[in-house]
């Protein structure tokens, strides 16, 4: 067990001074895990609970504990830049479990006449109730402030997500434009491929005609070769026959000469046909190579179009997934925001009710103090 000791029951100060309302636990006890309350009258101006501090209205930045000294039992309150309105009775309460100790300190402006002990306001049961209500209101205000901060954080997060969604929507729009351009380009390439296919078909037909003509020329060459072989065979027979007879008349020589000339013409024609056949063969090989090249080019273009289509589908799928994810996140944040708004509204209603009750109690307390002061006078 411990008690609460105040070094001075009365403290005097000048306006603008910083004062310390000294109070500590005896024997020295660690107060870090305890609840420390400071009141001015019945209004809670400072609350330390669960390691968190809550400060009453008008005391923000002016009231504080010596937090590092709590482990040594120091629960003194520091007031900065005091004013005449800060004068009055300050009560310190320290709670742990079901135990509560408290002490009062009177703060005066220098030059004011201190109240005599019998004229000092007494803490009534109603005053204790008002003090508890004041603590509850301060806690609710602290909780409301935390909820509002969380709400602001969620709002900023929602704004960030919304902005991100807008950015991704714009990016998706640009991507759609790019996809449309890619589609147009793919269509142009497809038209070009169709044109190339048509050209290939024309080349194939030309090659077929060349092949047929080449076959016809080959057939003619073969016929000429057969005729030439027959003529050569006849010539050999004639020469053999002339060798056996030994003589030829002039008419027969002329006929043989004509036959030789005809044979020579056939040889020349055969050579020309062979050369023409060779040229046609080269043309056929060249056309075949061109056909192979065009076929490969057509295959490459078809592969490129398929890859482009796959990339476009994959890109659209990825962007759609990202959009769905952003929409789900936005919906979740919206639900959380609605829940936070509902909680804040509930806390505000509770806080207004408590403040209204406190105002009524203060009004009644003022009336009672006025009556008591009149009786004392």
pLDDT of res. 248: 54
Q: Is residue 26 part of a domain?
A: yes
Q: Is residue 372 very low, low, confident or very high in pLDDT (cuts 50, 70, 90)?
A: low
Answer whether residue 83 shows pLDDT above 60.
yes
For residues 316 and 168, which has the higher predicted lDDT (pLDDT)?
Answer: 168
In this structure, the dihedral spanned by the alpha carbons of residues 359, 365, 370 and 372, taken in order and rounded to 10 degrees, is 180
C-alpha angle 110-111-117 in degrees, rounded to nearest 5: 90
pLDDT of res. 117: 47
Q: Is residue 213 part of a domain?
A: no
Q: Is residue 97 part of a domain?
A: yes
pLDDT of res. 121: 57
Q: Could you report the per-residue pLDDT of 253-299, keeping only the tens digit for each?
A: 556 677 677 778 877 887 887 788 788 778 878 877 877 887 788 78
Q: Is the peptide bond before 213 cis (omega within 30 degrees of 0)?
A: no
Answer whether residue 202 shows pLDDT above 90.
no
pLDDT of res. 89: 95
Domain range enclosing 5: 1-109
Q: Is residue 133 very low, low, confident or very high in pLDDT (cuts 50, 70, 90)?
A: very high
Q: Is residue 123 very low, low, confident or very high in pLDDT (cuts 50, 70, 90)?
A: low
pLDDT of res. 376: 55
How far apart, in whole angstroms, are the C-alpha atoms of residue 152 and residue 146?
A: 10
Of the listed ranges 48-57, 270-279, 335-344, 368-377, the one predicted with least confidence: 368-377
Q: Is residue 9 part of a domain?
A: yes
Written as six digits, the tokens of 119 are: 């004229």
Average of per-residue pLDDT values in the chain: 83
Count Cβ atoms below 10 Å from residue 309 Cβ, excluding itself: 13
Domain count, the chain: 1
Count Cβ atoms below 10 Å from residue 69 Cβ, excluding itself: 13
* pTM of the complete model: 0.52
Q: Is residue 34 part of a domain?
A: yes
Answer whether residue 5 shows pLDDT above 70.
yes
pLDDT of res. 245: 63
β-partners of residue 89 are 106
Question: What percentage of the chain reaches a pLDDT higher than 70?
Answer: 89
pLDDT of res. 118: 45
Q: Is residue 66 part of a domain?
A: yes
Give the mean model confidence (pLDDT) for residues 124-149: 88
pLDDT of res. 20: 96
The CATH number for 7's domain is 2.60.40.10
3-state helix/strand/coil string of the chain = CCEEECCCCEEEECCCCCEEECCEEECCCCCCCCEEEEEECCEEEEEEECCEEEECCCCCCCEEECHHHHHHCECCEEECCCCHHHCEEEEEEEEECCEEEEEEEEEEECCCCCCCHHHCCCCCHHHHHHHHHHHHHHHHHHHHHHHHHHHHHHHHHHHHHHHHHHHHHHHHHHHHHHHHHHHHHHHHHHHHHHHHHHHHHHHHHHHHHHHHHHHHHHHHHHHHHHHHHHHHHHHHHHHHHHHHHCCCCHHHHHHHHHHHHHHHHHHHHHHHHHHHHHHHHHHHHHHHHHHHHHHHHHHHHHHHHHHHHHHHHHHHHHHHHHHHHHHHHHHHHHHHHHHHHHHHHHHHHHHHHHHHHHHHHHHHHHHHHHHHHHHHC
Q: Is residue 306 part of a domain?
A: no
Answer whether residue 57 shows pLDDT above 50.
yes
Q: Is residue 249 very low, low, confident or very high in pLDDT (cuts 50, 70, 90)?
A: low
Q: Is residue 159 part of a domain?
A: no
Give the mean model confidence (pLDDT) for residues 298-327: 79
Q: Which is it for strands 35-40 and 19-21: parallel, antiparallel or unpaired?
A: unpaired
């Amino acid at each position: 067990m411990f008690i609460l000791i105040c070094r001075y029951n009365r403290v005097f100060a000048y306006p603008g001074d910083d004062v310390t309302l000294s109070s500590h636990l005896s024997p020295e006890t660690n107060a870090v895990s305890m609840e420390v309350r400071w009141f001015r009258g019945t209004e809670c101006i400072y609350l330390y609970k669960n390691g968190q501090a809550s400060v009453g209205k008008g005391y923000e930045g002016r009231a504080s504990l010596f937090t590092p000294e709590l482990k040594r039992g120091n629960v003194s309150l520091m007031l900065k830049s005091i004013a005449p309105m800060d004068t009055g009775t300050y009560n310190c309460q320290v709670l742990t479990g079901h135990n509560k100790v408290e002490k009062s300190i009177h703060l005066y402006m220098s030059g004011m006449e201190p109240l005599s002990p019998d004229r000092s306001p007494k803490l009534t049961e109603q005053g204790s109730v008002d003090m508890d209500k004041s603590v509850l209101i301060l806690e609710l205000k602290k909780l409301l402030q935390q909820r509002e901060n969380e709400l602001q954080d969620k709002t900023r997060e929602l704004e960030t997500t919304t902005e991100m969604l807008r950015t991704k929507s714009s990016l998706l729009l640009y991507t759609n434009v790019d996809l449309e351009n890619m589609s147009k380009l793919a269509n142009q390439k497809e038209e070009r491929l169709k044109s190339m296919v048509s050209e290939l078909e024309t080349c194939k037909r030309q090659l077929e005609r060349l092949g047929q003509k080449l076959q016809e020329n080959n057939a003619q060459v073969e016929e000429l070769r057969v005729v030439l072989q027959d003529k050569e065979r006849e010539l050999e027979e004639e020469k053999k026959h002339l060798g056996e007879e030994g003589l030829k008349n002039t008419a027969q020589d002329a006929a043989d000469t004509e036959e030789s000339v005809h044979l020579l013409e056939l040889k020349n024609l055969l050579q020309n046909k062979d050369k023409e056949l060779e040229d046609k063969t080269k043309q056929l090989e060249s056309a075949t190579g061109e056909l192979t090249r065009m076929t490969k080019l057509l295959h490459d273009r078809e592969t490129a179009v398929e890859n482009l289509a796959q990339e476009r589908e994959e890109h659209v799928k990825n962007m759609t997934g990202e959009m769905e994810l952003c929409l789900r996140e936005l919906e979740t944040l919206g639900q959380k925001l609605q829940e936070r708004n509902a909680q804040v509204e509930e806390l505000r209603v509770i806080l207004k009710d408590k403040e209204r009750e406190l105002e009524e109690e203060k009004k009644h307390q003022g009336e009672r103090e006025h009556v008591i002061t009149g009786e004392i006078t």
